[in-house]
Chains A and B, each alone.
Chain A
Amino acid sequence: MHRFSLVSALLGGGLLLGVGSGAARAQQLPGAAPPDSARLARRAHRLAEVRVRAVGREQFAVGSSRLALDSATLSQFRGGTVAEALAARTPLYLKSYGPGQLATPTLRGTSAQHTAVLWNGLNIMLPTLGQNDFALLPLSANTQLAVQLGPAAALYGSGAVGGAVLLTTAPDWRPGPRASLQADAGSFGLRGGSFEASAASAAVAMRVAASYRQAQNNYTYLRPEFGGPVRYTLTSAALRHQWSVAPEVAWRLSGAGQLTATAWLTDADRDIQPAVGTTDRHARERDQSRRLVLAYQHQASARTQWTVRGAWFEDVLNYRDDGQDSRSRVRTTQAQAEYTAALGARATLRVGAEAQHFSAAVAEYGRPNATENRAAAFALLRFDPVPRLRLSANLRQAVLPQANPLTPTAGLEWDVWAPAATADTLAPARASRLTFRASAARSYRAPTLNERYWQVGGNPNLRPETGLGYEAGLTLRSQPTRHLALEHALTGYRQLVDDWVQWAPGLDGLWSPRNLRQVLTQGLEASSRATWQRGRHRFSARLAYAYTWAHTHRATPADPVPAGLPLPYVPAHTAAGTLDYGRGPWRAAAQATFTSYRYTDAGGVAFLPGYGLLGGGLGYALALPGRVEALLQVQGTNLLNRAYDSYEGRPAPPRAALLSLRLSWR
């Protein structure tokens, strides 16, 4: 087995984030290094035993907030999408047109285009729209899902204004073959299945994950009409098919190199549901993405490491309805190189550069091919002068066709109280630890290809949006008893986004995207989490609440919307509570989410009422002969059968059930 000696020189805390016990680490809001790892950082002689892992980029995001879904949670949503998992398990608000339909998040009051989506470190936002439909990202392909909250352009580049969603696959180096097969059946014609297999030797690790889903979505909803409410059945909302295949191969080459080839192919064919009360134009959309990444990581010395990545993406979006036939295909070529070095025992420096080339064939651009090049160079520094104080300072210089934004970030974490260092032992100290976190960051969003080229209205002179945000918070961790761990976090943030781009009619009445306004978002995030484990019992509870305030701060004279109005589809209050319990072969999960009212357009008048949802699931694992384990899961959503619209005019599904059977072999 390869030993990773760089680790001792780099930061132990970071290396352990993805390796630590899943349940305890999962969904921890702040990016603070956990207490164990802080201790481990001083235990250099043990670190050599840690498995090979690159230093994650999140290690440079000191002082900012991060949400991660653990592998047990991802496993529950294996047949589903990123949209479903985030909506059910986090306080993030996703506006969703319906099951399998367009779903986009609003992170910290910003829009879908202000959420960077990275897959294995590479931006996969659709270059035409500058956003992702989270319902088109099946979870099966990924082994990790995390959300970086707040601006983080220095780390994640264009679009990381409200935050970034980070999808990652990691090779499974556990020796030997293993495989699992799952079948799903649910309400309203939902059928699906998934398959995952992996095998590893000392030199090669292979993994393939595939999933399929279809759904009729033919549920009923009530609608007020003349003479009283009328019950309708939803039509033109079927998910005709959605599949995802993600193979990955990793080779350990002689010396200290690792070559990884990863692909992710997705294909979805779905009806686009019309708003209720309007004419059905029989809209249908086909989305296909093909993503290939080749990465080579090299351990140059005990203290230095470099990585190069090359990627090729192709995204097809074909839409048609009774009156339109719109086809688009974008090819993205990306390259990334980075070099990481330990500076003394307490600091790590990473420098790197990346380049992207887009080539888009979109009929509405009025030209056969539209291209754009973007590049960026970055330097990331993490410095822990003493274990109680962790600092980072990052910088990215982007080169865009319109402007070259420079986006620095600075972060700090300071353990205001920390338990006295215990002897060389991993036994948990029962003392509390209070950590103060703060960060400041500039962010940017490059104009999308649609914003630049769309006929009619595309504006080639758009400037990139730029943001300046701050956040500060406290995290209190304690372990009142040997079995119980508590963590409370409170974060406040504020961000001004300037040159905010909005499609709006100009003085000539023509719709065009322009840099119309400055938007202010600010808010508070609070979370509490309890983890209790004793004997065969495992219990964890988490409650998270977010208050979000997003308004136009200043409007340019050309802005048809006056300053001071709230942004549409940003709920002021969101909350999520989750409970997970396991005892031997049994597991149970429950989740409750609340979303307050949201305005539905820029006028700040029309709104959708708030709603609360309850969901839950029960699972039983049974060991079968031949190293096979069967896991039977039943999950329910909208258990209180609330009628609500996440998006205007699109009734959300009523109470629904999903039954899954998974057979795992190892």
Chain B
Amino acid sequence: MRFSKYLAISLLAVAGLASCSPDDEPVVAPVQDANNVFVINEGNVGRSNGSISLFNPANKALSLDLFRAVNGRETGDVVQHMAIANNRAYLVANNSNKIEVVSLPDFRSVGVVRSRLKGPRYFLPVSATRGYVTQWGDYTGSASRIKIIDLGTLAVVDSIDTGLRPERLLLLNGKVFVANSGSNTLTVIDPATNRVTSTLVVGDAPNSLAVDKNGLLWVLCGGNVVYTPTFDVDYTTTTPGKLVSVNAAAGAVAGTRTFGSNRLQPTDLHLSPAGDQLLFRAADAMTYTGPVFRLGIADAALPAFTAPFIRRNLYGLGVDPNTGVIYGGTGTFLGTDKMIRYQSSGAALDSAAVGAGPNGFVFY
């Protein structure tokens, strides 16, 4: 019957159409020996679309989703952090409760830490064989602690209690300093014994740390944000942020300065290549984005929120330790976001499309 022939041809044609897809093979710019910029694209919560983009500043080549391109599967849900040690990169997927481990420079998956983690945040290799990862549990901080990971077996071998909602952590003078963002303290740990040696009171909600050229530890505290029952911010009780300096050797707070306004929460502290300028964002408590501020380590006064260094509201921030080029990430979370580069003077250089929610940059 003619009709059946027609039907068969049509079915085949339609099957052909259904199978065609957009360009399936993203361009992979190989990881170079040096001068690589990894963009940590957090992705949308619950969508498992976090990714790592690789940017080559020399030729501006960009691979949008490096892990997927190399390993053929997704990176994870809420890729919060990436840390590199001994030619391995550790990708912390917060809402997947896992850490993907890849080798460098090929970015091939070599293992995964996927048990006994709950809401991991930031990773710090503390020795050739051990790594620390801060974790929250759920957003209330129900399982706030550090998990100790055997970098050989990639198993969680132990844990260390911290304050509420431990965030970024840093190794200085043989001690690990952990910012407890749900409280007002730093937990100080001896990585040789995995024991807490002291707890320092800083300001409300410490979130990030940096060490300047003089070895002084700077702690940025966002301030305690209070929300109203109608999901707005209660600025009558929200506390302003603080910038605290800590003498790490003495284990004591050296100085504390309070920001003039509680309308923005300072966060995401970075250092200029020379180690004499502090850069950070001051984020809105509803959007987590905000403009960039800069101050010298010797400056007497904190910058006012009305006078930003970079006016654009950014979700992620990074400073190239070699060139001083400043990297910003937008936070629209609409599929793709933008990485915007600025000269160290703050003048915009260029921009490129990256994954959703670029929250940080790793220079390697």
Interface residues of A (CB under 8 A from B): 224-226, 274-279, 322-323, 364, 366, 455-456, 486, 504-505, 507-511, 528, 530, 541, 543, 545, 560-561, 568, 572-573, 575, 577, 592, 594-597, 599-607, 609-612, 648-649
Contacts and interface: CB of A to CB of B under 8 A. Distances in A.
Contacts of B5: none
Interface of B: 3, 6-7, 10-11, 14-15, 17-22, 44-49, 64, 72-74, 76-77, 95-97, 100, 109, 111-112, 119, 138-140, 230-232, 284, 286-290, 313, 330-336, 353, 356
A649 B96 CA distance: 13
Nearest to B312: A507
Nearest to A541: B7
A509 B289 contact: yes
A226 B111 contact: yes
A277 B334 contact: no
Contact of B18 (A541, A573, A604): A573
Contact of A225 (B14, B22, B112, B287): B112
B286 A456 contact: yes
Given A505-B289, A561-B335, A597-B20, 16 more contacts: A225-B73, A226-B112, A274-B46, A278-B47, A279-B77, A455-B231, A456-B232, A509-B289, A560-B330, A568-B335, A596-B17, A599-B335, A601-B334, A603-B356, A607-B22, A610-B19
Contacts of B48: 275-278, 648-649
B7 A543 contact: yes
Nearest to A577: B11
Nearest to A509: B287
B18 A323 contact: no
B100 A275 contact: no
Contacts of A511: 287
Nearest to B101: A226
Nearest to B75: A277
Contact of B109 (A226, A322, A508, A577): A226
A55 to B, nearest CB: 35
A175 B72 CA distance: 64
Contact of A575 (B18, B47, B74): B18
B331 A505 contact: yes
A481 to B, nearest CB: 11
Contacts of A602: 334-335
A278 B77 contact: yes
A486 B3 contact: yes
A607 B73 contact: no
Given A561-B334, A610-B20, A275 B14 contact: no
Contacts of B6: 528
Contacts of A592: 11
Contact of B21 (A364, A508, A561, A607): A607
B334 A504 contact: yes
Contacts of B64: 605
Contact of A322 (B74, B138, B334, B336): B138
Given A279-B95, A486-B3, A603-B335, A366 B230 contact: yes
A224 B72 contact: yes
22 contacts: A224-B73, A277-B74, A278-B46, A279-B95, A323-B138, A323-B140, A366-B230, A508-B313, A509-B284, A509-B288, A511-B287, A560-B330, A560-B334, A561-B334, A575-B14, A575-B17, A596-B20, A601-B334, A606-B49, A610-B18, A610-B20, A648-B48
B138 to A, nearest CB: 6
Closest 8 CB pairs of A and B: A603-B335, A509-B287, A601-B335, A603-B336, A366-B230, A224-B73, A594-B18, A277-B48
Contacts of A572: 17
Nearest to B283: A509
Contacts of B290: 509
A592 to B, nearest CB: 7
Nearest to A649: B48
Nearest to A595: B18
Nearest to B17: A573
Contacts of A541: 3, 7
Nearest to A365: B230
Nearest to B139: A323
A510 B14 CA distance: 43
A545 B138 CA distance: 47
B124 to A, nearest CB: 22
Nearest to B228: A366
Nearest to A283: B46
B77 A277 contact: yes
A456 B232 CA distance: 7
Contacts of B289: 505, 509
Given A601-B356, A604-B335, A610-B18, A648 B230 contact: no
A39 B313 CA distance: 69
Contacts of B231: 364, 366, 455-456
A541 B45 CA distance: 44
Contacts of A509: 284, 286-290, 313, 331
A323 B290 CA distance: 26
B47 A649 contact: yes
B334 A603 contact: yes
Contacts of A606: 49, 335
B335 A455 contact: no
Contact of A594 (B17, B95, B230): B17
Contacts of B313: 507-509
A242 B230 CA distance: 33
Contact of A226 (B17, B100, B287): B100
Q: Max chain B CB contacts within 10 Å: which of A224, A509, A602, A609?
A: A509
B230 A277 contact: no
